[in-house]
Structure 1
Amino acid sequence: MRPSDKSSRKFLASIHDVSPRFADEVDRLLDQLVRHLGGPKLAMLVVPDHWDSAPIAEDQGFQSRLRGWADAGVEMFVHGWAHRDDSRHSGALDGFRARHMTAGEGEFLGLDHATALARMTAAKKLVEDVTGVAATGFIAPAWLYGAGALSALPQAGFTMAEDHMKVWNPQTGAVLARGPIITWASRSRARIASSLLFSALARHALKPMRDVRVAVHPGDAHVPSLVASIDKCCAALLAGRRVARYADLAADHAATRDERAAISAS
């Protein structure tokens, strides 16, 4: 299949920080994305207990909403446990990433293997028990993974993970999609300005890529300029692409692998 064919070019969207704390914002972002996608063909990144003060386990109403979204076809990712970084970072690089790439939310950047595995396992069980469907994968808060988290991913049973630049299968190491994810930041005027600039460039620069990913956060819903930018980005990058789920990445990778194996065997 030619790379230019629409059937092989995919657009993937996700809503981060899905939690009772941001229930209204998630509703608004879902409505906005559905207008572009034509339905709930997107991913939600679920935080079991955001900042240890919004436990899904104690909120029957939000559990019902999660089940309804899952039943409608929304993919459910585990997105950490508390989305808060309580680790002490000794390395210069991790310290820089913790300070400048997130506002104290890189929960899995400094965890050791055992702690990361325990949190992943507990979060996976909660999300799956609530929704009644298998979690599609794990995405670390702020897309930040330390060595402990990376080594725990396959043991926790996850077959898909994502960072800023790729989607991969932790069980095999296979890369399922490449390229920068487009996202927005709302916590300061400088962050808003920089994310508006990046998204404006990206919606043109990434057009040649086969697969593109867009991720939105609850804070985006409160900034009109970010809401408008999300609309522009979706409209521009959906042209010539099909709306896809993350599971489609794995299916396409498997099909390509089988096709190559068949050619080699012939």
Structure 2
Amino acid sequence: MNVGKRLLASIHDVGPRFESEVDRLADLMAGVLGGPRFAMLVVPDHWGLAPLGEAPAFRARLRAWADQGVEMFVHGWYHKDMAEHAGLASFKARHMTAGEGEFLGLSQVEAARRMADGKALIEDAIGRPAAGFIAPAWLYGEGAMAALREGGFALAEDHMRVWDPATGATLAWGPVVTWASRSRTRQLSSLAVAALARNTFHALDVVRVATHPGDTGVPALLDSIRRTLGAFARRREAGRYAGLQPG
């Protein structure tokens, strides 16, 4: 195992809407990584259909996971993008996500409100500060970036890096390994990218692996997730985002 090199694994879209899928991913990760050495990205009300504030049993589960050491991030509010876009933002909204880039088109005021509300709700559930904020689909507009700088979060993440929102300091750099389940073409593409990453990312100081509830419906994706986590875990420690330091 390479001393100093780190693996950061995460489960996205955590909430009562996907409880069984989250359980399956958590069991997979704990089995491969030797315990709850991963993060959860919690959505306060996924697509307006699963309000965490009305799910006391799931909030209790979040606290139990947090007590075991699972890091908890605020992951938007609705996860659904309801804004109108133009220019580059329109391209990102169409091609980088399926209508889920919630924070891509929000004003600073609205982004700040949703960040603060999500932070308060999740921190009340887990009984401790949230680890940070990660926008749905890793997409941030100008308003979201401005709000994030003042939001009181220790960490933020996008496709290519992890950073300190208050200072802008980069804490980790490199593409995140993730999977796409919504079409056969995307499944095959993500399987190929994960296989490539398992053989070429070992020089990176920090490797990030992100999973989604939809992955659990495709056996080939679950197998790839297991193999990818295992390949990295054999060479580096599965750690915590909170342990990152400026490079």
TM over 0.5: yes
Q: Sequence identity of aligned pairs in percent?
A: 57
How far the C-alpha of 1:138 sits from its partner, in A, is 0.3
Aligned to 1:148: 143
How far the C-alpha of 1:235 sits from its partner, in A, is 1.4
More helix, by proportion? 1
How far the C-alpha of 1:239 sits from its partner, in A, is 2.2
TM-align CA RMSD: 1.0
Please show how residues 231-250 of structure 1 align to structure 2 within 5 Å.
231-250=226-245
Aligned to 1:38: 34
Aligned to 1:66: 62
Is residue 2:92 matched to residue 1:97?
yes
Aligned to 1:51: 47
How far the C-alpha of 1:18 sits from its partner, in A, is 0.2
The number of equivalent residue pairs is: 247
8 A contact 2:33–2:230 mirrored in 1: no
CA distance in 2, matches of 1:165, 1:179: 5
Aligned to 1:172: 167
CA distance in 2, matches of 1:225, 1:7: 31
List runs of 5+ in structure 2 lacking aligned partners: none
Aligned to 2:124: 129
How far the C-alpha of 1:232 sits from its partner, in A, is 1.1
Letter in structure 2 aligned against 1:18: V
CA distance in 2, matches of 1:159, 1:86: 27
Partner SS for 1:17:
strand
Please show how residues 1-266 of structure 1 align to structure 2 within 5 Å.
6-90=2-86, 92-250=87-245, 253=246
How far the C-alpha of 1:240 sits from its partner, in A, is 2.0
Bigger Cα displacement from structure 2, 201-210 vs 51-60: 201-210
Letter in structure 2 aligned against 1:143: W
Partner SS for 1:182:
coil
List runs of 5+ in structure 1 lacking aligned partners: 257-266
CA distance in 2, matches of 1:159, 1:42: 17
Normalising by structure 2, what TM-score? 0.98
CA distance in 2, matches of 1:113, 1:209: 34
How far the C-alpha of 1:6 sits from its partner, in A, is 2.3
Letter in structure 1 aligned against 2:98: A
In the TM superposition, structure 1's runs of 4+ consecutive aligned residues that sit over 2 Å from their partners are none
Partner SS for 2:190:
helix
